[in-house]
Amino acid sequence: MEYKDIIYKTPVKHGLINYENTYKDFNWKNINRYFDHFSGDGVNIAHEAIDRHAENSCKDKIALHWEDEDNVKKQYTFSDIKRQSDKLANVLRNLGVEKGDRIFLFLPRVPELYISIIAIAKVGAIAGPMFSAFGPEAIKDRLHDSEAKVLITTPELNQRVDEIREVLPALKHILLVNAEHNLKKDEISYESETNKASESFKIRWVDPEDYLFILYTSGTTGKPKGVTHVHNDMVSHYITTKWVLDLREDDVYWCTADPGWVTGTVYGIWGPWLNRISQVVYNGRYDAEKWYSIIEKYKVTVWYTAPTALRMLMKAGDKIIKKYDLSSLRYICSVGEPLNPEVIKWGLRVYNLPIHDNWWQTETGSIMIANYPCLPIKPGSMGKPFPGVCAKIINAKGKELSPGEHGLLALKRGWPSMLRRIWSDKKKYNEYFRISGWYTTGDTAYMDNDGYFWFVGRADDVIKTAGHRVGPFEVESALVEHEAVAEAGIIGIPDTERSEIIKAFIVLNHGYKPSPNLKKEIQEFIKKRLAAHAYPREIEFTKDVPKTRSGKIMRRLLKARDLGLPTGDISTLEE
Ligand code: AMP
């Protein structure tokens, strides 16, 4: 099916003006000239994102407008961020942090999170941001696999680390934000140490191929994978921010994503600051009125958010929109899940702006397919490949398919921000490149006759719920740790608001009876143990979970049965 109603084309005078010509002539190497250092003595993304701006006429420009749920507000200029990250970089160096060490962050969206990520890059270490809704199991997986040396967190969140502390021998120091007293042996106060530290720091120049950050993300099998990126990512971060998010020097930009997910790290820190943009961070939960008040108060011009949030705003109704002055908004983008045409049409009506969908992944490190200001939007399509990115639809043998044919979405390897490693798992890394010459995305899609890409689904069992990527194996493993659960199978089922919700099929141990209370108890168990966003909203107690003869849960069969779809080949089903 193709959408006939092409709805919008923004008049453009800046950024990407002619998509076709730019795509034809594009060469990644030409982007290097936008940076101070690109060869010789080495590079450092923190210099390009913060220090160089703090050292010129932009030193007093606001880098960060920050506000939290209690209306506490703070502002940081580029020189404030430079000074504070230099101080923290000195603290880290004094703790013995060296190039390549892993420093993990378990923080809400406080200013210290943003300052820490810059400071970690400055010492040449590798930052590992973690979503603050994670429970002990999810934290343990990440800190253990990466052998993190330092953790930066708050006393409240640290309680979840306490439970697993003894299985983390590589963890030497815990820097606690907002804690000056009652510190344990390996705990250090962030404030006391940074207050004492020198403001002068000599940045560590690194090779563009040196590691910058690790974000753990879910696949179908096994524990989360440590997707590792390098300083060279800055090339993609810089230019995709400019051309897809259409950011210009006088913009006020708000990315609603948390840095515990890739959008929050790349387009909530690096992309905007490489482009010297003032950005807003709101440290709080979703609330329609609060969100609109943020746009009004800071006169947000460019807004990058997600389909679930937009659907929730749509549900909150048009009336509350009228209470706020949103006239500053000039450009809206969305990512993370399919963006339904209804939402785009609604956005056009209530914000008087189209919403530009774009597609990418933790592994790709930057936006790969997008709707651009200079191209018409086909509602429901993810858009066209970014210049320098070759995206195709292929079959399992690597043969390119014709327009309209459904197949695997694949990218020709070699763009600057492509993942460089899965932290401790070479085999998992190689799996992405199993079809010669191609990076396989795990998504299925098709391309239409005009070169627009349309998302079809996942080729594997990974679940996307409210924009969060969840691996069924992680949830199943956590479930069977509950005393009542003998076996569990996890699938994603369609949901109008959250794209998908997690459904668990559970076989109970002897002596346990299905009941609404037990369901609740199991849900709470997963929220606390694994992550607040990863709990099964639906639970069905069942007598057995279908498995292959080799013992693998047949999630596809569970899903087909649940949704009343054809069950496909079940020849490997256990008798
Ligand atoms: P993550 O690595 O958590 O950002 O998740 C990446 C996955 O999210 C992709 O492989 C897709 O399955 C999904 N995704 C991201 N952007 C879009 C989009 N614009 N439309 C549909 N699915 C998307």
Q: Is the CB of 265 under 6 A from ligand 1?
A: no
Q: Is the CB of 458 under 6 A from ligand 1?
A: yes
Measured from the Cα of 457, ligand 1's closest atom is: 12
Q: Is the CB of 442 under 6 A from ligand 1?
A: yes
108 alpha carbon to ligand 1 midpoint, in Å?
A: 23
529 alpha carbon to ligand 1 midpoint, in Å?
A: 25
Higher pLDDT, 180 or 562: 562
- Asked whether the CA dihedral 172, 526, 258, 34 is positive or negative, the reply is positive
Residue 40's pLDDT is what? 62
Residue 177's pLDDT is what? 97
The region of weakest confidence among 3-12, 49-58, 465-474 is 3-12
Residue 346 neighbours by CB distance under 10 Å: 17
336 alpha carbon to ligand 1 midpoint, in Å?
A: 4
Place of tokens 């651009």: 372
97 alpha carbon to ligand 1 midpoint, in Å?
A: 34
Q: Is the CB of 262 under 6 A from ligand 1?
A: yes
Measured from the Cα of 441, ligand 1's closest atom is: 10
Strand order in the sheet with 225-230: 187-189, 173-176, 150-153, 102-106, 126-130, 211-217, 225-230, 421-422
Q: Is the CB of 383 under 6 A from ligand 1?
A: no
Span 206-256, pLDDT tens digits: 999 999 999 999 988 888 999 999 999 999 999 999 999 999 999 999 999
- Does the pLDDT at position 277 exceed 90? yes
Residue 191's pLDDT is what? 96
Residue 356 main-chain phi, psi, to 5 deg: -95, 110
361 alpha carbon to ligand 1 midpoint, in Å?
A: 6
At 531, the amino acid letter reads: A
- Pair 412, 390: CB distance under 8 Å: yes
- Does the pLDDT at position 176 exceed 80? yes
Q: What is the mean pLDDT of residues 384-391?
A: 98
Q: Is the CB of 335 under 6 A from ligand 1?
A: yes
Span 291-350, pLDDT tens digits: 999 999 999 999 999 999 999 999 999 999 999 999 999 999 999 999 999 999 999 999
Cα separation, 575 vs 567, in Å, equals 16
- Does the pLDDT at position 113 exceed 90? yes
Cα separation, 2 vs 453, in Å, equals 11
Cα separation, 89 vs 81, in Å, equals 12
Span 500-538, pLDDT tens digits: 999 999 999 999 999 999 999 999 999 999 999 999 999
Q: Give the burial string for 184-197 (b: 16+ CB within 10 Å, else e).
A: eeebbbbeebbeeb
> Which two tokens mark 457?
């689904």
Cα separation, 492 vs 533, in Å, equals 13
Measured from the Cα of 462, ligand 1's closest atom is: 12
Q: Which residues 6+ apart lie within 8 Å of 27 measured at CB?
A: 388
Measured from the Cα of 263, ligand 1's closest atom is: 4
Q: What number of CA atoms fall less than 13 Å from residue 150's CA on the CB side?
A: 27
- Does the pLDDT at position 568 exceed 90? no
- Does the pLDDT at position 356 exceed 70? yes
Measured from the Cα of 262, ligand 1's closest atom is: 4
What are the distances in angstroms from CA 315 to CA 329, 349, 355, 437?
20, 14, 17, 44
Span 78-106, pLDDT tens digits: 999 999 999 999 999 999 999 999 999 99
Q: Is the CB of 443 under 6 A from ligand 1?
A: yes
Closest C-alpha residue for ligand 1 atom 8: 336
- Pocket probe for ligand 1: among 455, 458, 465, 498, the residue whose CB has the most ligand atoms within 8 Å is 455
Span 235-244, pLDDT tens digits: 999 999 999 9
Residue 30 neighbours by CB distance under 10 Å: 12
Closest C-alpha residue for ligand 1 atom 5: 361
Q: What is the mean pLDDT of residues 111-125?
A: 98
DSSP 372-404: -TTS-B-TT--BEEPTT--EEEE-TTSPBPPTT
Start-to-end Cα distance in the chain: 40
Question: In which region does residue 395 sit, left (phi positive, over 0), alpha (psi from -120 to 50) or beta (all else)?
Answer: beta
Helices (H), 204-259: 234-243
162 alpha carbon to ligand 1 midpoint, in Å?
A: 33
Cα separation, 470 vs 500, in Å, equals 11
210 alpha carbon to ligand 1 midpoint, in Å?
A: 26
149 alpha carbon to ligand 1 midpoint, in Å?
A: 31
Largest CA distance in the chain: 73
Share of the chain above pLDDT 90, in %: 90
3-state helix/strand/coil string of 321-380: HHCCCCCCCCEEEEECCCCCHHHHHHHHHHCCCCEEEEECCCCCCCCCEECCCCCCECCC
Pairing of strands 62-68, 73-77: antiparallel
> Which two tokens mark 403?
């327009």
Span 23-62, pLDDT tens digits: 999 999 999 999 997 656 799 999 999 999 999 889 999 9
Residue 412 main-chain phi, psi, to 5 deg: -65, 130
Residue 1's pLDDT is what? 38
Residue 24's pLDDT is what? 96
Residue 150 neighbours by CB distance under 10 Å: 24
- pLDDT category at 149 given cuts 50, 70, 90 is very high
The DSSP bridge partners found for residue 43 are 206
Span 538-558, pLDDT tens digits: 999 999 999 888 888 999 999
- Asked whether the CA dihedral 514, 516, 517, 520 is positive or negative, the reply is positive
